[in-house]
Structure 1
């Protein structure tokens, strides 16, 4: 089987990532240049949170979530991973605050990691990212690597997903809060199934890293996120084709 490349390994994430995909101490987020004034609605401005801080830059960490508990066992070339930690959406993620937005983003990253490790989509279905941007994972197309992951017919060695916040605070534009992130995904040393193993040639080659600006709007008691979908339709199409080829 051909070596794992960033395009073949992560093509299933095309809808949410790049070419191969797929906090505040009572202060308000800094307003973007030329942004609209507050409208006075519940979604127009976020409130201070008791857990908030002034600087959220760096790796996003889900509240109360350990990425590798002692009983977690990465996949082998013959068996899927065992005891992968299940991310739980913290209550603060639904809070109308910078901390709430931050934890919503952190939960999204944890849900993606869990999906890549197990093929299970339940946490993804709870995350704030717009479901249309998660479609390739929640409803994978026939013949793709995503379908094989969901069915348990294929698995990744020790998948990791890291979201890095690129600024201390989001920028506000009307009712929308924009936050730049860097998404880094690594499937591990191989992708395997019952009859084949696809090896990764090197750690640097198998990782996929993209930068996006997530757009958060607070409505109906929760945050809604958009912005992970690749802007280039040709890139996404190429990624999906690669994913299908790698799964065949």
Structure 2
């Protein structure tokens, strides 16, 4: 049994549906056939494992929406409604769906800092570091726009993005996790 749940929350390989060959976005076309997250059975458990997989599913939904413009999996996650709406408002999902805007390799990379969440009564909290990557370029209405200083990044150079520190909270209610705090982190100047 796993004892350390720190690090980047990820779904297992079998927790995705695949439709055709997945292709990342390029300067010529948006992402295609991205894997769709499936709800893992463990996410309904009232346990650290259940909370972890509920968070991993929501984060996989964010990644899918950023690539395909479809917020379905964000909306099916345990993320509270106000944060779902905030995410939808702050990202050009309709333009992504219509292939008039896309980024290469957009992602929200969460890393949990502790092996287990902190419990306070019936609420759990888990501190995280978040790196929001925008990729090295984006395409808008057919025009490519570089977002890094050079169009050929060095091997260790991260694409443009921001760093945050925050806390996600979860409460197990009616057989499912209700989650909040995905977007309330404090902006940091680096990965510290």
Shorter-chain TM-score: what band? 0.7 to 0.9
| Runs of 4+ with deviation above 3 angstroms | 144-147, 202-205
Whose RCO is larger (CA < 8 A, sep 6+)?
1
CA contact (8 A) 1:165 1:182 kept: yes
What is aligned with 2:26? 76
Query: Of the candidates 168, 186, 203, which is equivalent to residue 133 of structure 2?
Result: 186
What is aligned with 1:160? 107
Instruction: Determine which structure has more spread, i.e. the larger CA radius of gyration.
Output: 1
Residues 79-228 of structure 1 aligned to structure 2 (within 5 Å): 79-138=29-88, 140=89, 145-202=92-149, 203-204=157-158, 206-228=160-182
**In structure 2, how many angstroms separate the alpha carbons of the residues matched to 1:165 and 1:103?**
13
**In structure 1, how many angstroms separate the alpha carbons of the residues matched to 2:87 and 2:124?**
25
TM-score, L = length of structure 1: 0.64
Q: Which has the higher strand share?
A: 2
Q: Which runs of 5+ in 2 are unaligned?
A: 150-156, 188-192
SS of match in other structure, 1:187 = strand
- CA RMSD for the aligned pairs? 2.6
Q: Summarize deviations over 1:5-47 as a string: whole Å, max 9, x none.
A: xxxxxxxxxxxxxxxxxxxxxxxxxxxxxxxxxxxxxxxxxxx
Q: Which runs of 5+ in 1 are unaligned?
A: 1-51, 236-248
TM-score, L = length of structure 2: 0.81
